[in-house]
Amino acid sequence: MNHGEIKSFLASFQKVHGRTIVVIDFANVEKWKSGLSWKIGIQELARLVKHFSTGNTQLRRFYYGADYGPHEKSDTQTLWSAHMLGRAGGNGFYVVNKRVKYIHDSRTGFGYIKKCDLDVEMAVDLIKMKDDYDHIVLFSGDGDLVCALKYLKEFYSKTSYVFGARNYVGREIIDSVKTGTIKKVFYVEDFEYRLNMNRFRS
């Protein structure tokens, strides 16, 4: 998409941005930087999202793990985790999180891997809040939410759009565009001029 097409697309939400829910799987978004030469900033993401949804903060939902470190009894978030979640909240997102799990894995240099999957929470929230919106904008290339999107399309006529990075969009999502479950997939590479957190830095 060129800049003119993007501008027209964003303008098309002016009449529905009070009835659009935005769901951001930020752990998935962070993975995209491996295939991009730039990184998506939370502030830049918030500015873009406000073209889709305004008013009710709960319709701009940011899902991300809360990291308390490897000790199960710790009640203090790591500085990085607290910074990220605080930054999301400070930029107008309704933050949904749960504790990051540390799983023993001797194959890694640290002796563990971190895991925090919020797919179930996202799916449940979409269904639970179905009366609050008509349109869904999902930032995630993971195909696990397709089942929920299909249900919401078939039974409640919800219209879904998905944002992902090229080569990071699941086959289930591409197939769902063909069947009409998802109206359109957008690639963040086309939105770099809006999303790149370093775009004004030398």
What's the pLDDT score for residue 110?
65
| Residue found under tokens 């370093």 | 198
What's the pLDDT score for residue 70?
84
> Pick the residue with more confidence: 111 or 95?
95
Q: What is the pTM of this model?
A: 0.92
| In-domain check, residue 79 | yes
What's the pLDDT score for residue 202?
44
| In-domain check, residue 200 | no
Residue by residue, DSSP assigns 149-187 as HHHHHHHH--EEEEEE-TT-S-HHHHHHHHHTSSSEEEE
Count how many domains the chain has: 1
Taking only the tens place, the pLDDT of each residue in 139-160 is 999 999 999 999 999 999 999 9
| In-domain check, residue 18 | yes
Taking only the tens place, the pLDDT of each residue in 40-81 is 999 999 999 999 999 899 999 999 999 998 888 888 999 999
Which residues form the domain of 98?
Answer: 3-195
Of the candidates 128, 116, 129, which has an alpha carbon nearest to the alpha carbon of residue 66?
A: 116
| In-domain check, residue 85 | yes
Residue by residue, DSSP assigns 86-121 as HHHHHTT-EEE--BPEEEE-TTSTTSEEEE---HHH
Which of the residue ranges 5-14, 109-118, 134-143, 166-175 would you say has the lowest mean pLDDT?
Answer: 109-118
Q: What CATH number should be reported for the domain holding residue 127?
A: 3.40.50.1010
| In-domain check, residue 201 | no
